[in-house]
Structure 1
Amino acid sequence: METAVPLGMFYDNVSVLGAAINNVYIQKNFNAFSVTMAVMYLAVCIVGLAGNSLVIITILKLDKMSSATTVYIFNLALADGLFMVGLPFIAIQNFQDQWIFGDAVCKLVMVLDGINQFTSVFCLTVMSVDRYMALVDPMRFARWRTPRRAKIIAALMWFISLFPVLPMAINFSVNYGLCTVDPQVASYTWWLTFLSYTFALGFALPFTVMIVFYTALLVTLRNARTQTSSSLESHRLEKQVTKMVVAVVLVFGVCWLPFYVFNFCSLHRPDQAQDFTRGFEFVVLLSYSWSCANPILYACLSETFRRHFHALLCPHKSSPTHCNRDTEGYILRDTIAQGVLA
């Protein structure tokens, strides 16, 4: 994950494990690939900042974090938006093959990048649990799903995210012209331990939790439909939620799994540094793309957020009738949609 190697862990591994980084990277020419990647980094950054800012403004202005679900969505959008701030620094380093911002900025970017990424993943994980509680037994778990409790849980997520990134604050600085870990402490064992626990906390465990609770959510919906009259509305609800769950889990896996694969491969095969370079730059970009995908999922799959976005961007075109539809099926569908999409 990007917290594991926010500014090119692949390059750092090569340096630490003995490859001649100055010969491999500093001499790189600004070819078409470098220019293309720089443009793509910029595009992802702009889309991510704009999309997540829109979600934040929408919640603050139209929803005001009136439910636990929107509290989590707000914190997710905030973490994703701040996560985008580190992307220009990564793009510049990858484009120029050197860090030009100094030690203090190096440490700051590392820490903020890690905190925001872990918080984003934690939010996504907590929301899968929140949706399960809301559907399985809403009365029983109602006291855990108040906005106040959700804000406390969100604050804890931000606080807990500090601990996995402590090695960045302690050991990252400008080395070999790059923002990387101090070669004096970054042995093979150090990197392997760092990669392993960040993979477990930032991908494996959250991914497992999401699959378990979203699967339970879908099973609950299906059982509820079979135990009652199988109406067209309930079938449509189940189908919509299934699409949302598959989209959220699939996007998360596709965006982050290649990043870890490349990092572990680069750790074990430093002799193939040049062969991994272009692929690694792409998977770093792919991992950041995950943080700008969430607002797109809101807009495409959540009818509630489509109405909110429309009301925010085109207030003169929003009619009271359109904004106040409250049939039972519509409310249930929107309630689930807001929680599943994260």
Structure 2
Amino acid sequence: MEASYVFYVDNNQSYVEEHLYFEDNIDGFGITMAFLYLMVCIVGLAGNCLVIIAILKLDKMSSSTTVYIFNLALADGLFMVGLPFIASQNFKNRWVFGNTACKVVMVLDGINQFTSVFCLTAMSIDRYMALAEPLRFACWRTPRCAKVISASLWFFSLLTILPMAFHFTADHGFCSPDFATDTLWLGVLSYTFIIGFAIPFMVMMVSYAAMLISLRCRQKLFSAPNHEGRRLEQQLTKMVVAVVVVFGMCWLPFYIFNFLSLHYNSFFPSFVRAFEFAVLLSYSWSCANPILYACLSDTFRRHFRTLLCPGIKSCPGVQCSVEQYDQNDTKTKLKLLFLDLKRNDLEL
């Protein structure tokens, strides 16, 4: 359920009262939020477009990981497209684009949001398979298979949001879903929370935890101290913590405020403003991903430098060479595995 409209579902009279209050009291907070919305939109579009260009031009989708990153960046970039409509609604305290536009924008918004979360979840599973059993899962980690899975995730996102498309309306002056009862709305909110946050968050935590455990166990197989393995483990740990923490911080407040809104018969200004900030925070997730790539991925740092500074030559993307391993040489497999994981598979 996307973050832009849930708060005004119930209690239309309360909405009208708050609508009139804020329409007559557009102050520094409204201007500040409009500016922040604009910044998130610009950073999100620019960052995700840079990721998409880097993958298409330099990496050319050479691995399953970059296929998922491409679809994640595409979903995040399209998610930003709906942000100006939401910013306009919040700033003007009314929807001015018509009922049809309301349905279209919110459906596309929901599809892109769910696809972004689903692709990130698929990436966590993909990274675990790359480290735990690279030979066993090699057939599942081809770019072609990743493209099929990504297309399925887009279709599943459409099916997830489609039942709610008929409930989007701008009849009350604000683009929001209109449900007959609070019980029905609670069911929809619980459904979207479980599908769009709880399950993906748990899968990511389990996958990354298992990946770290597997990496540590593999290091013990080396007779001599492996400094490169330790460096990779530290880099991976930072990446895991960053992804999980940022995802939780950006999306959990939004769902908390939605559940809290069910217990209020009327909304006071501080609650409305806090909820608007939670909405902005949820959109910020889509512009945080490119920043994580730049900070935590050596490969994407090289790609970004190549695109932004053409005079600097970047190393080409390295494809996973699982199929080239000598299955009778355990140590050779492990060394090659660490090299491939370092360069490609475990990076964002």
TM-score of the superposed pair, with normalisation by structure 2: 0.90
Which residue pairs with 2:327 in the alignment?
none
% identical equivalent positions: 61
User: Which residue type is aligned with residue 73 of structure 1?
Assistant: I
Residues 145, 27 of structure 1: alpha-carbon distance in 2 compared, 3 angstrom cutoff: same
Which residue pairs with 1:323 in the alignment?
315
Displacement of 1:13: 2.9
Q: Is 1:176 matched with 2:172?
A: yes
Query: What does 1:195-274 align with in structure 2 at a 5 Å threshold?
Result: 195-228=189-222, 229-274=224-269
Displacement of 1:227: 2.7
Structure 1 residues 222-263: Cα deviation after superposition (integer angstroms, max 9, x where no partner): 111123233211111100000000000100000000000000
Measure the CA separation in 1 of the matches of 2:317 and 2:262: 55
Measure the CA separation in 2 of the matches of 1:325 and 1:89: 37
Measure the CA separation in 2 of the matches of 1:129 and 1:227: 24
From 120, 129, 134, the counterpart of 2:130: 134
Which residue pairs with 2:325 in the alignment?
none
Measure the CA separation in 2 of the matches of 1:206 and 1:325: 28
Measure the CA separation in 1 of the matches of 2:186 and 2:137: 40
Measure the CA separation in 1 of the matches of 2:78 and 2:301: 23
CA contact (8 A) 2:14 2:265 kept: no
Which residue pairs with 1:13 in the alignment?
10
Displacement of 1:23: 1.7
From 75, 79, 85, the counterpart of 1:79: 75
Displacement of 1:5: 4.6
Secondary structure of 2:9's counterpart equals helix
Secondary structure of 1:316's counterpart equals coil
Structure 1 residues 38-74: Cα deviation after superposition (integer angstroms, max 9, x where no partner): 0000000000000000000010001111211111000
Query: What does 1:8-87 align with in structure 2 at a 5 Å threshold?
Result: 8-15=5-12, 19-28=13-22, 29-87=25-83
CA contact (8 A) 1:110 1:168 kept: no
Residues 286, 325 of structure 1: alpha-carbon distance in 2 compared, 3 angstrom cutoff: closer
From 301, 306, 313, the counterpart of 2:308: 313
CA contact (8 A) 1:241 1:336 kept: no
Measure the CA separation in 2 of the matches of 1:32 and 1:96: 14
Which residue pairs with 1:286 in the alignment?
281
Structure 1 residues 292-342: Cα deviation after superposition (integer angstroms, max 9, x where no partner): 000000001100000011112212122xxx62699966543122433xx2x
**Structure 1 residues 64-73 or 204-213, which shifts more?**
64-73
CA contact (8 A) 1:14 1:273 kept: no
Displacement of 1:20: 2.7
Measure the CA separation in 2 of the matches of 1:158 and 1:5: 15
User: Which residue type is aligned with residue 299 of structure 2?
Assistant: T
CA contact (8 A) 1:266 1:273 kept: no
User: Which residue type is aligned with residue 7 of structure 1?
Assistant: S
Measure the CA separation in 2 of the matches of 1:336 and 1:143: 15
Measure the CA separation in 2 of the matches of 1:5 and 1:69: 26
Secondary structure of 1:268's counterpart equals coil
Structure 1 residues 3-47: Cα deviation after superposition (integer angstroms, max 9, x where no partner): x254321122342xxx43222123312100000000000000000
Measure the CA separation in 2 of the matches of 1:7 and 1:252: 17
**Structure 1 residues 21-30 or 50-59, which shifts more?**
21-30
User: Which residue type is aligned with residue 144 of structure 2?
Assistant: R
Q: Is 1:104 matched with 2:100?
A: yes
Unaligned 5+ segments in structure 2 are 319-334
Displacement of 1:75: 0.2
Structure 1 residues 281-302: Cα deviation after superposition (integer angstroms, max 9, x where no partner): 0000000000000000000110
Displacement of 1:175: 2.4
Measure the CA separation in 1 of the matches of 2:192 and 2:317: 44
Residues 287, 324 of structure 1: alpha-carbon distance in 2 compared, 3 angstrom cutoff: closer
CA contact (8 A) 2:45 2:287 kept: yes
Secondary structure of 2:266's counterpart equals helix
Unaligned 5+ segments in structure 1 are none
Which residue pairs with 2:84 in the alignment?
88
From 332, 337, 340, the counterpart of 2:346: 337
Measure the CA separation in 2 of the matches of 1:64 and 1:335: 13
CA contact (8 A) 1:107 1:168 kept: no
From 121, 144, 153, the counterpart of 1:148: 144
User: RMSD of the TM alignment (CA)?
Assistant: 1.7
Residues 85, 186 of structure 1: alpha-carbon distance in 2 compared, 3 angstrom cutoff: farther
Measure the CA separation in 2 of the matches of 1:285 and 1:78: 19
More helix by share: 1
Aligned length, in residue pairs: 328
